[in-house]
Amino acid sequence: MAIKLGHNLLKVMTHIKCRGKFYPRTDNAVIRTAVPDDKVPWNIEWPEYNPVTYTAPHLLGTGDQLPSWADPEDMAGVCPKWNSPDGNVNRKSHIGDYEVHNNKPRNPCGRTGVQGRGCLGRWGPNHAADPIVTRWKTEKDESGSSKMVTHPKTSMPILQFVAIKRKDCGEWAIPGGMVDPGEDSTSTLLREFLEEALNIEETSVAEERHSIVNQVSRFFRDIAIRQLIHSGYVDDPRNTDNAWMETMAVNFHQPSEIADSCLPSLNAGSDAAEAVWVDICSSNSLYASHSDFLKAVTMLRGAHW
């Protein structure tokens, strides 16, 4: 499969992780209506479908009590520009125009068994960015020089990626995060990597901070090592019928000849409990759609999966 710029890996996906029994972060108090595979598409009639409505309590405030990254619960007075950039909020989906019913956007991948925003801030698309930082797995040979490690079954070289352990659910993931209001996704890629995989917020010595930021910025700017993997929907467990995650996932690949010099040592911070290099293979169990993104990276780079 050729990976082209702007390729949308999951355009025709059937979401699964946002159809689990319980809505996340509710202590199992919010139960989704079970949506069978054949009832996921909105164009399949299901007149009895009437799932619970849930929006997390901290998103129901008004004025100063509402986080800057969240919409008001009632959008009637706001006149949102659905399917468009809207001030410093991007309400445009990567995957084309979504439908809006009674001022509530409809999840373009179909039913999820819960209405409202759940714990997502925006009605409609909630944009994120995922930096997939990779390198070849190497070992020293008898003469002390590095050689790429191949997998015994496929004889293909093994890629490693920077993984973080999410504090919220304990799952391993790519160190991505939400695009802040007014921020562009490219800046989010860098900021999230610095925060979650390099703990930049806790690096108090100014020179060290500058050196880390400069080193990673240079690496992320290098177009020779950068490749867009996915821009589109994410099968995130937080998705609802009216709010969903979308991301721009970009691979930054360290060439093997300079593998040791591109990045500082990993150090988990922000929403990450751990940050480590992990061998990529099909048995990695990762948050949301992150395994799909890694599979695409292995195909692109000719690595073991």
Residue 98 vs 136, nearer CB to ligand RP5: 98
Which of 2, 28, 32, 29 is CA-nearest to residue 15?
A: 32
Round to whole Å and give the CA distance between 120 and 55. Answer: 8
Shortest Å distance, C-beta 131 to ligand RP5:
9
**SS3 at position 144:** coil
Q: How far is the CB of 239 from ligand RP5 (least distance, A)?
A: 8
Site of interaction with ligand RP5 (CB under 6 A): 128, 130, 173-174, 176-178, 234, 236, 245, 247, 271, 288
**What is the phi/psi pair of residue 216, to 5°?**
-75, -40
Output the smallest distance, CB 106 to ligand RP5, in A: 19
Minimum distance, C-beta of residue 168 to ligand RP5, in the bound complex (Å): 7
Shortest CB 286 distance to ligand RP5, Å: 10
**Is 162 or 288 the residue whose CB approaches ligand RP5 more closely?**
288
Nearer to ligand RP5 by C-beta: 109 or 178?
A: 178
Beta pairing class for 114-118 and 52-55: parallel
- Between residues 177 and 269, which has the closer beta carbon with respect to ligand RP5? 177
Number of H helices, E strands in the chain: 3, 15
28 conformational bin, left if phi > 0, alpha if psi -120 to 50, beta if neither: left
Q: Nearest-CB residue to ligand RP5?
A: 176
Residue 281: CA count within 13 A, CB half-sphere: 12
- Residue with Cβ nearer ligand RP5 (32 or 165): 165
